[in-house]
Structure formats: structure tokens, C-alpha cells
């Protein structure tokens, strides 16, 4: 029996400040550019004001990329274009600045933090600050066994909570959340199918490196078999993460929920972060109010999860590489919304605002 009471998050998480949002909307009405003429940027600016409880909105000055990493035993079935147990290589590429996310983050001036939860490599192969939170070496093969013990799931969840607290305490004002995994999209598809009550074929996509038809059929079968194991534990979100999730997914779920507690906005990346967000919504229904969907990756499970949470992606570029790369592309859009909301001057009092020529 877990000592972690997830029901506490329902009481701890508040919605962004509705009164402040109305103040931001009223301020927008007075600015020289017509309301609505900036499209989605208007809504983003008002959302940020509510999240910050500040009018005018403060600029996003200390964003951070946080990546949770892990290998998934289900990758042994050939459901990924990458070899099973190779997520450590992806992490090294991030740390060396050679991955898409690392290149984008460097260009945008955003620091990257990688948290190893269940990589299948020797811990001495990576820096201590990366591996110090590891719960186990690789998660179990979810089609036939639990990904984690309940104790491991709780430990991983608590790591996510602790990392969210560290980021909030250090002044991070927005998080770009992603994963570095092999087999993670399979586990994510199972979580989404279980929580949305759909069949395996509806949620099974082709992953970060598009797999062929034969691998897709193997992935469908793995999702189907894991889904049978997931349904009996749907009422217990921690047990669900232990049964068909993984240490990285459990940590991401804890991280998302604690970010909502700490009122830290988060941009979600792809299907893995969306699946964890969906679990988080089941835990605390107000939590998604603190999250943005950075992009549409084209993965069917992501679309299903975002629809269930009523989150509309900011971009639609079909980026499936993971590592937060798609969400990083949305970061300048969010920063632009904050800058416009804060810096556009108000119309003079003697002339109406919001009139286009």
C-alpha cells in the first residue's frame, strides 16, 4: 500500500486567477491594436497574466527545458525504430549539444535539465546530476509484467514532485517538458487508451522515428496486451503508472501536478507528456489549466489526450523527435504573447481603441 495520497492534489491545486484574467482582458481592450487582431496571442497573454497573477504580464525570462529519461522493456518487442535500451545514447547527444532539442535550446538561450529515471545503462556513463534520481535500470515489459513495483512508482512520482519544487524555488518561470525514451510512446498509448476507453489501434502511432507496418502491428499488439492489464487498475492512478507506465512517466506525472501546485506554467511536448498530463487530470481536474500544448506531433494518442483535456496545440508541425523539441518551437510564441501583452501602449483616452482602418 502506497503512503502517497494523490487526492491531496485536488485541494492543493487552484485555477489561475480569474479576476486577474478579467483585468488583463480589460487592459487589452484599451490597447491601440484591436482586440482579437493578434489572434491566439491575445488569449496566451491573458492566460499568462492569470497564471502569474500580474497585470501587465511579466516577461518569460527564466524558462527551462526539463527532460525525464528512461528505457522501456516493451521496446524489446521491436515496437520502436531504435534498439531497446538505447535511450542513454539519446541522453548523451542532448548533453553534448548534438540533439535537435539541445540545438534549439542553445539557440533560444534556454538551459536543459535531464533527469534519468530508468535508463538501461551503467550510471557511471552519465554525469551524477543526471543519474542521481534513477529508480531502476529500465522499466518492465508492460505487455506481460508491471513496469514498476508500486514502491518504485511512488519513488519516481516523488522525484517528479521534488524536481518541480527545485525549479520553482530556483526562479524558473516556465517549463518546456519532454521525454528522452525508447518505448515511451507505447506506454503513453496504453495510458491514453485506458483513460479514454478506446482500442489499441485508435491510439497507436509510429513513434519518434516512423516505424514500418510490421513494427506498427507489433506495437498495436503490445498496446492491446498492456491495455488488458491496465483496465483493472484504472481507479488508482499510481498503480496504473506502476502497471503500464514507467519510472519516467510516473516522474513526469508528479512533476506536472506539482508545477500546478506551485503555479509554474508548463508547455507540453508530444504524446508522452500528453499521456502523463492526462493521468494528472484524472488526479486533479484543475491541473490542466496550468499547461499549454506546445505542438501537434501527429501521434493519435496525443490528439486523443489533448482533446480530453481541452488543450489546443499552439503549433502543428508534426515534430515527433521528442526531447521537448516541438514544445521548444512554441516557446518564442509564448514569449511574444507576454511581450505584446505587456508592452503595447494604451490608446489615448479621447479616441477609441480597437478600430481597424
Q: Report residue 70: phi and psi, to 5°.
A: -175, 155
124-147 core/surface letters (b: 16 or more CB in 10 A; e: else): eebeeebbebbbbbbbbbbbeebb
CA 273 – CA 169 distance, rounded (Å) = 22
From the list 282, 261, 255, 212, the residue with the least C-alpha distance to 11 is 261
Residue 19 C-alpha cell reads as: 479576476
- Residue of 299, 323, 351, 356 with catalytic role: 323
b (16+ CB within 10 A) / e for 346-355: ebeeeeebee
Q: Which residues of 49-76 are buried (b: 16+ CB within 10 A; e: fewer)?
A: bbbbeebbbeebeebbbbbbbbbbbbbb
Task: Tell me if 135 sits within 8 A of 118, measured CB to CB.
Answer: yes
Which phi and psi (to 5°) does residue 295 adopt? -160, 160
In the residue annotation, 152 being an active-site residue is answered as no
Element (H, E) at 113: strand 112-118
CA distance 239 to 227: 14
Select from 301, 71, 277, 328 the least CA-distant residue to 207: 301
Q: What is the CA radius of gyration of the chain?
A: 20
Q: How far, in Å, CA of 42 to CA of 57, rounded? A: 12
Query: Could you count the other beta carbons within 10 Å of the beta carbon of residue 33?
Result: 16
Please list the active-site residues. Answer: 323
Amino acid at each position: 500500500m502506497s503512503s502517497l495520497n494523490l487526492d491531496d492534489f485536488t485541494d492543493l491545486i487552484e485555477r489561475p486567477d480569474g479576476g486577474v484574467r478579467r483585468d488583463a482582458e480589460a487592459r487589452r481592450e484599451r490597447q491601440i491594436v484591436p482586440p482579437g487582431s493578434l489572434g491566439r496571442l491575445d488569449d496566451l497573454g491573458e492566460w499568462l497574466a492569470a497564471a502569474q497573477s500580474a497585470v501587465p504580464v511579466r516577461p518569460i525570462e527564466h524558462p527551462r527545458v526539463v527532460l525525464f529519461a528512461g528505457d522501456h522493456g516493451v521496446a524489446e518487442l521491436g515496437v520502436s525504430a531504435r534498439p531497446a535500451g538505447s535511450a542513454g545514447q539519446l541522453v548523451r547527444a542532448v548533453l553534448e549539444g548534438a540533439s535537435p532539442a539541445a540545438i534549439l535550446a542553445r539557440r533560444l538561450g534556454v538551459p536543459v535539465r535531464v533527469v534519468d529515471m530508468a535508463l538501461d545503462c551503467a550510471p557511471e556513463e552519465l554525469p551524477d546530476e543526471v543519474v542521481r534520481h534513477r529508480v531502476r535500470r529500465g522499466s518492465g515489459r508492460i505487455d506481460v509484467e508491471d513496469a514498476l513495483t508500486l514502491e518504485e512508482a511512488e519513488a519516481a512520482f516523488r522525484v517528479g514532485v521534488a524536481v518541480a519544487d527545485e525549479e520553482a524555488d530556483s526562479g524558473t518561470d516556465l517549463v518546456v517538458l519532454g521525454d528522452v525514451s525508447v518505448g515511451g510512446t507505447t506506454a503513453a498509448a496504453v495510458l491514453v487508451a485506458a483513460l479514454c476507453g478506446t482500442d489499441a489501434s485508435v491510439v497507436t502511432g509510429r513513434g519518434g522515428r516512423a516505424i514500418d507496418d510490421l513494427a506498427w502491428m507489433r506495437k498495436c499488439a503490445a498496446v492491446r496486451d498492456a491495455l488488458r492489464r491496465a483496465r483493472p487498475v484504472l481507479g488508482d492512478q499510481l498503480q496504473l503508472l506502476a502497471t503500464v507506465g514507467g519510472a519516467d512517466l510516473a516522474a513526469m506525472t508528479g512533476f506536472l501536478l506539482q508545477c500546478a501546485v506551485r503555479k509554474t506554467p508548463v508547455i507540453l511536448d508530444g504524446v508522452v507528456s500528453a499521456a502523463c498530463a492526462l493521468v494528472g487530470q484524472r488526479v486533479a481536474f484543475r491541473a490542466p489549466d496550468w499547461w499549454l500544448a506546445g505542438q501537434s506531433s501527429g501521434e493519435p494518442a496525443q490528439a486523443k489526450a489533448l482533446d480530453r483535456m481541452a488543450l489546443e496545440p499552439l503549433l502543428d508541425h508534426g515534430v515527433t523527435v521528442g526531447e521537448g523539441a516541438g514544445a521548444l518551437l512554441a516557446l518564442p510564441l509564448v514569449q511574444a504573447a507576454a511581450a505584446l501583452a505587456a508592452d503595447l501602449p494604451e490608446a489615448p483616452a479621447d479616441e477609441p481603441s480597437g478600430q481597424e482602418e
